[in-house]
Amino acid sequence: MFGYIVRRTLYMIPTLVAVSFVSFLMLLLYERYTGTYVDQFRFNPTVSEETVERLEQSLGLDLPWYERYFRWMLGIFVTTDAIDPVTGERWQVWSLQPVSLPFTSLQIPLPVWKPYFGESFQYQRSVTELLAQYLPYTILMTIPVFLFIWIVAIPIGIYSATHQYSAGDHALTFLGFLGLSIPNFFLALIVIYVLAGPLDVGQYCWDRADVGRYCLGVGGIFYEKYIGLGGIWPWQWNWGKFLDYLWHLWPVVLVLGTSSLAGLIRIMRGQLLDILGSNYVQTARAKGLAERIVIWKHAVRNAINPMISIFGQSLQFLISGALVTAIVLNIPTVELLYYQSLLNKDEYLILTILTFFAVVLLVGNLIADILLALVDPRIRYD
């Protein structure tokens, strides 16, 4: 098992190199057909030609493409000549940093990896910093949705399959179809409209300053007052911030979770129905086993396995869904950053985030395979 994980992880490396290279090729096409970030200043009369050239040089856009790609790769794994904005010195990709051991006051020097992904043209900051700033929001937004859909989908799928063709099953199937058919962004529009419009639950948060009413949890992920309060991670929050988080979370869960939820319910129902129709379930029933045991020990146990293998795919849907949801609900996630960087031709940001998404998907697939191996004793890896 351990050998398998190591092999798979090593195997990911060439795939990721290929992914980043394909992304880079796309960027070159993008430059070729729509111009670079610097090109927008070229026809601007208030910007002199020298400035444009200086900008081009400082951003490294005048280098040949292979050198740009090579430097980008080098910056991630080996070294870079960029300046660290925090320390003001050269960016150290590898450095020895004192790391405190947990539960002790001991500090030992450990090599710390701080990859340099290039600089964002638009924000004039390193991509690493930007990612570090936006990533927590993605995690705060995605993980609860992920948990929610899996915790809710499996019981509903089981209910739907065991009560096939009942009124409840029909209703759930219909809702499932509807959930699959509503585009994420349209659902987001409806949620915003219905809750903040006719129902008039409150104000649209980020739109107005504190007006004395408790505002509706649509838009953003924190109320203004809480954004700077405490840290970004839940264990650094106070009670008020946590409640505020929940209040902003539920529209996200509603919008982002619906389509994935509907898909998962349908798959779970189908799997369980397949298994309920198989011979060994009939045998189990013929033996006189209690229906509870037949379903939970014989059927569900086997229907879960294919669900785990689609775990990786559901990450894929979550990323795509989160992209739209974050834009409509204005949540500062990595997906929103990606969208903005596409509009701003912020090349290293695009390159890094696309590669980052690929890492997430590949790791998700790996985790799914490992889980499957743990759950299903029939699977062997050699």
Is 38 a binding residue for other proteins by CB under 8 A? The answer is no
Contacts of 247 (CB under 8 A, 6+ apart): 217, 223
Is 34 a binding residue for other proteins by CB under 8 A? The answer is yes
Is 323 a binding residue for other proteins by CB under 8 A? The answer is yes
Nearer to other proteins, 226 or 356 (CB): 356
CA geometry: angle 276, 277, 282, nearest 5 deg: 80
- What part of residues 12-31 is at the interface with other proteins (CB under 8 A)? 15-16, 18-19, 22-23, 26, 29-30
Q: How far apart are CA 87 and CA 97, in angstroms?
A: 14
Is 65 a binding residue for other proteins by CB under 8 A? The answer is no
Least CB distance to other proteins at residue 308 (A): 18
Least CB distance to other proteins at residue 18 (A): 4
Where does 35-101 have alpha helices with state H?
39-42, 49-59, 65-77
Is 180 a binding residue for other proteins by CB under 8 A? The answer is yes
Least CB distance to other proteins at residue 337 (A): 11
Q: How far is CA 78 from CA 18, 58, 275, 342, 353, in A?
A: 19, 21, 52, 27, 20
Is 295 a binding residue for other proteins by CB under 8 A? The answer is no
Side-chain-side CA neighbours of residue 75 (13 Å) = 22
Nearer to other proteins, 189 or 379 (CB): 189
Least CB distance to other proteins at residue 189 (A): 6
- At residue 212, the 3 state secondary structure works out as coil
Q: Which residues pair with 264 in a beta bridge?
A: none
- What part of residues 140-169 is at the interface with other proteins (CB under 8 A)? none
Question: Applying CB under 8 A, which part among 73-81, 271-279, 283-291, 334-342 lies near other proteins?
Answer: 334-342
CA geometry: angle 354, 356, 359, nearest 5 deg: 115
Is 189 a binding residue for other proteins by CB under 8 A? The answer is yes
- At residue 213, the 3 state secondary structure works out as coil
- Residue selected from 192, 221, 264, 284 as contacting other proteins according to rule CB under 8 A: 192
